[in-house]
Structure formats: structure tokens, C-alpha cells
Amino acid sequence: MGADPYFPANGDPRYRVHRYELALDYRPGPNRLSGTARLNAIAGRAPLTEFQLNLADFRVGRVRVDGRVPHYTHRGGRLRIRPAKPVRAGAAFTIEVTWAGNPEPVRSPWGGLGWEELEDGALVASQPVGAPSWYPCNDRPADKASYQISITTPSAYSVVAGGRLLARTARASTTTWVYEQAAPTSSYLVGLSVGKYQTVLLGDPGLGGVPQAGHIPGGLLTEFSRDFARQPAMMDLFEELFGPYPFGEYAVVVTEEDLDVPVEAQGLSLFGANHVDGARGSERLIAHELAHQWFGNSVTIADWRHIWLNEGFAKYAEWLWSERSGGRTAQALAGVAHRKLAALPQDLRLSDPGRKLMFDDRLYERGGLVLHAVRCALGDDAFFRMLRGWASVHRGGTVTTAGFCTHAARFTAEPLDELFASWLHGTALPPLPSPAAAMPARPPYPPRRADSA
């Protein structure tokens, strides 16, 4: 697989990383970050005489390849490395990098991406190319690796990262937090937040559910408790519809500042204070970010052309939650989306939207409509078997639009070629999909498992 067509300067397909070990020290006052990274990697089919990592404009202090000093240059967000001795094709090798500086977001057509300094703390929101704003990485979604992140901060601050908290060690005025994310993770999905939070548990993992925690400013605790009260029921529903939750735990962070949109990371979602109102005003977004744990994070796109496989699936999960929690049906919400799209320009090709339109609102809505069209064509039983199979077969892996079309076709004797040609590869808006027969009525989803009553 070659370079990403939308971001050819990011990532290097000549090798892959299977593990990152990051040891960081962050001081919020001066916004000062220093770190050491150890990457365990494997060369591709050809010997590696040189390769690159992506890293923003930090001061690089040390680089080693298999313990030896290479020749390297660091310009324009690229750390180009020429090993003292070429790495054999298919061979395992290690890369060590130390760096320091003041992290700031990477510039992009969508504004700053990656490490963002807050009034009192920091957060990471890297989609799609912000990861190099804080650590050296092979920044392409298809290169998935496990991570261990150790970060030392002043003890007044909490650190939240995606994965399992292995240790929290206080020394004098600082505390070191160590997180392990064992599941394969794309660089843009490595989430991190540094702030002054209170931690609350959601649901009851003692009953066999997924451990869920919220990390929030103390002043928002009352509103948060209402707004996120139904997240455990969402988890139950999505496990029923999509299959087992793909990671060991799930955390949500609410910052003291507003965010334009929530941001998903692996095992972690970040919300702004504006998404907490005490009236469940952002509940659809809570469902959207949770659904990304299956679609986008566990099942990850091979390159950014296929972004609808992330956002369309998460959008449809919003509609499924509404339908099963006593709100409007997916058919009604599909009608709303269809009317909205009908009034907008018809120039977006879902299967290859181009970099300019990859986060256009129309991609989300049309992506949801694709899933609804497939559901109408397959019927509920086959459709949800198809979704569970998609999440199961590709767990921890990468996918493409063509692969989804092939997968969905296995669940019906009727050809889906025309449906996919019009919805995915055409630009004109097809008619609103509707089921051949009425979708079966389902009771509102229970607030928790029956055994928790």
C-alpha cells in the first residue's frame, strides 16, 4: 500500500510500527513538553536505506536506530533518517528519539490539529494529521500499533489517556501516569488530556459491563450526571447491534473550555463544556463518539478516501440509538437527512470525497443514508448480522469501501451493485430509501441489563 493520496507527506509505507513506548514530561504553565520515544518496527519488502517519521518543529536531541547513530535531518515536519547500516527487508528494528519544545497544533485546512494548550491544561485532538504535534510517529491510519504512554505532570493535574491505567506514582510535586493501550491503534487516535478533573464511574462493571469513567470539572458534575446517564444503556445497545465492545475500557473527558465538536480517540472521547447542559442536549453526539469505538477506531480506514466508513456508521448509530431509546425512528431521521441533502449542492462523491470535503456535513448525512439504504435492502435480521460481522472480521484491522461492498453483498441474494453505484460512486442524491415492509416495532431499550434491575 502506497502513500495516503490525501496526505502524501504523512506516513511512510516502507515500514510499519507495532509498538510505541512514550515517556513524556509536561509542564502546563510554560506549555513545555519533552519526551523520549522507542518504536519497535518492521521493515517492508525492500531493505530500508532510509525512512521517515512525522514530527513537528521540536528540538530533536537524540536519534538511534538499533542503538546506532544514523544520519538524519528534521525539516517541515519530517524526520528523515538514514541508518548507519540498512535494515534488511522484513527485519525488526528499533528507533529511539528524544525531543523537547513548546507543543502547538499542526496547521491544516480545518484549523489547528493535535496538541492544544488550554487555559489550565492541554488536550490532544489529532484527526486526521495532528499526531506529529506531540510525538514522532508513522502518521498514517493503516499503521496501527500498541502504545504505552508514561507522562509526568505537576501533581495538581490529572492525566487521562486511552487504555488501561497501569500506575500512578507521586514523587514530591509531580505525578507520573502510565497507560497501556494494547489494541492496535492508529496514530491519530492516540488521545490524551491534562487537566483538573473529578472522576466518576458510569454503570456498574461488576455486573459484567464495560468499565466506563467520566473525567470532568467539579462545577459540571451535576449536569454531566444527567447528560451521560444513558451512556451505559448505549453501550448495551451497541454491543447487541455491533458485537462486543472492542477495547478493555471507555473513558470520556469534559474540558472546562468549549470545543467545536467532540473528538474520538481509541477508548476515549473528549467533549467541551458546551456539550454539557443538564438537558441531554448533546446525547446524539455521545452516541456518535461511542459508536466510533467500533467503526473508525477498532475497524479503521486504510486511507482517508474511505472516511465515510467512520462517519457514516457513527451517524447511523445516532439514528439507531434514537429509534431504540424512544425517540424518532431511523426512517424518520433518514427523511430529515434526505431533505437536508436535497437542498444542498450535489457534488460530493462519498467513495472519494477529496481532502477538501472529507469532513463536510454532507458526508456524514449521506453516509448514514447509505447504511439505511442497505438496511432497507437487506431487512433487519440480515443487516444487523452484516454489521456484527463487519466489526468482528475486521476487529483491529483496516478496511476500504470496496471491502464493505463485498461484505454487505454476502448477506443478500439480490445484487447491491446499483445501490452502491448511486449512493457511493455517484454525486446525484438517490431517492429516499424505504423498507420493502414495515420495520418491526421494537420497545424502547431498557436503561440497563435485566440482571441489574
Q: Are 42 and 16 in contact (CB under 8 A)?
A: yes
Catalytic residue among 180, 283, 289, 365: 289
350 alpha-carbon distance from chain centroid: 19
Round to whole Å and give the CA distance between 173 and 108. Answer: 37
* Residue of 295, 310, 298, 324 whose CA lies nearest to 236: 324
Phi, psi at residue 208, to the nearest 5°?
95, 5
Going by C-beta distance under 8 Å and a sequence separation of 6 or more, which residues neighbour residue 238? 245, 290, 291, 294, 317
What are the CA-CA distances from residue 56 to residues 15, 100, 114, 136, 304 (Å)? 20, 10, 10, 8, 21
Give long-range contacts, CB 8 A cutoff, 24+ apart: 171-179.
Answer: 176/150, 176/151, 176/152, 177/150, 177/151, 177/152, 177/153, 178/148, 178/149, 178/150, 179/147, 179/148, 179/149, 179/150
- Three-point CA angle 58, 64, 66, nearest 5°: 150
Round to whole Å and give the CA distance between 10 and 64. Answer: 21
180 is catalytic: no
292 is in an annotated binding site: yes
What ranges make up the beta strands (E) of 44-76? 51-54, 59-65, 71-75
364 is catalytic: yes
Round to whole Å and give the CA distance between 52 and 332. Answer: 49
Catalytic residue among 147, 197, 316, 364: 364
Q: What share of the chain is helix, strand, coil (3-state, %, to 5)?
A: 30, 30, 40
18 is in an annotated binding site: no
Q: Are 227 and 257 in contact (CB under 8 A)?
A: no
Q: Which sign does the torsion angle of CA 428, 429, 435, 439 carry? A: positive
Stated as kind and residue range, the H or E segment containing 103 is none
45 alpha-carbon distance from chain centroid: 29
Return binding residues.
288, 292, 311
Catalytic residues: 289, 364
Return binding residues for Zn(2+).
288, 292, 311
